[in-house]
A and B are shown apart, each in its own frame.
Chain A
Amino acid sequence: MTTAASPIQTALATALLADATLIALLAGEDVYSQATLPAAPTLPYVVLGPVTEGETAVRFQAAGWADGTAQLDVYAADQTAALAIYTRLHALLHRTTLTLSGATLLRGRLSLVTTLADPVGVHLVARYATLAR
């Protein structure tokens, strides 16, 4: 992923690409945004969806925090591979605080929404919610 639309996406991409275990599961640095998604990406891969910003509680706003929610999509050949990647994403992102250049993400929460059949195999949908500044 070379560009990102928001600090949250940038921080997520940086965190994911820095993890050797995830890169091994993806068999490469296959983490994209919609803007960087190739026409025919190699399975499996992860897509970071756009961030929806919400209204943060006043005490957090005063401290410069904003909350955001992003959809994370995992595309894999089968459910087993998709769940293995989700498990790694969960270990990296759920209830962790990421402090990276450009953004701090405070105690994010990653949740599995659903898995869907997809033309390329399986599409696993997860949502990541966090406070960021």
Chain B
Amino acid sequence: MAVGRSNLRGMRATLTLSGGNAAGRIANVFGKVDTVTRQAVQEVVADAGAREYQRAYDLAPKLTFFLADHLRYRLTKDRLAYEIGWKSSDFTSEGFAPYFQYTEFGTSKMAARPCLFPAREEIRPYFRANLSRALRQAIARRGRGA
């Protein structure tokens, strides 16, 4: 469902988790001939993404709320995947170092206080179940010749 991606080059850093890529591949297989399935998968992805974003927000450290309030959520243009994470420019523009990587992963001096990965783990079964249901319905429609 999701791929962790992060990099740190000087002060430029991003940390995002992407979800729904598998859904996109599946939707492409069905979607070329089945618009209903494609829309159903898009709804599953959007629902899971919104839930995952909300859960990550809930879990984010909130000493100042800066970290939680700058968590970003974005659906891709085709609405078959989403990204949740932070952009370093949101931090540097306010005079902060992009410290989100250190709260998510910890350091040798500080234990991690993750929110992205736990949120993903929590939402993954929900996402899988809904995606399976959408695909079962697509297969049933095809069986009926609809």
Q: A residues bordering B, Cβ < 8 Å?
A: 34, 49, 52, 54-55, 69, 71, 73, 75, 111, 113-120, 123, 125, 127
Contact = CB atoms under 8 A, between A and B. Distances in A.
24 contacts: A52-B117, A52-B118, A54-B121, A54-B124, A54-B125, A55-B125, A69-B121, A71-B105, A71-B117, A73-B105, A73-B106, A113-B105, A114-B7, A114-B8, A114-B101, A115-B8, A116-B101, A116-B105, A116-B107, A118-B107, A119-B107, A123-B105, A125-B105, A127-B4
A87 to B, nearest CB: 19
Contacts of B121: 52, 54, 69
B124 A123 contact: no
Secondary structure at the A interface, as helix, strand, loop or mixed, is strand
Secondary structure at the B interface, as helix, strand, loop or mixed, is mixed
Contacts of B114: 71
Given A52-B121, A116-B105, A123-B108, 7 more contacts: A52-B117, A54-B122, A55-B125, A73-B106, A111-B4, A119-B107, A123-B105
Nearest to A73: B106
A119 B105 contact: no
Contacts of B105: 71, 73, 113-114, 116, 123, 125
Interface residues of B, number: 21
Contacts of B125: 54-55
Contacts of B4: 111, 113-114, 127
Interface string B26-42: 00000000000000000
B102 interface: yes
A119 B7 contact: no
Contacts of B7: 114
Contact of A127 (B15, B101, B117, B124): B117
A116 B124 contact: no
Nearest to A54: B121
Contacts of A114: 4, 6-8, 15, 101, 105
Contacts of B22: none
Interface centre among A54, A73, A114 (most CB of B within 10 A): A114
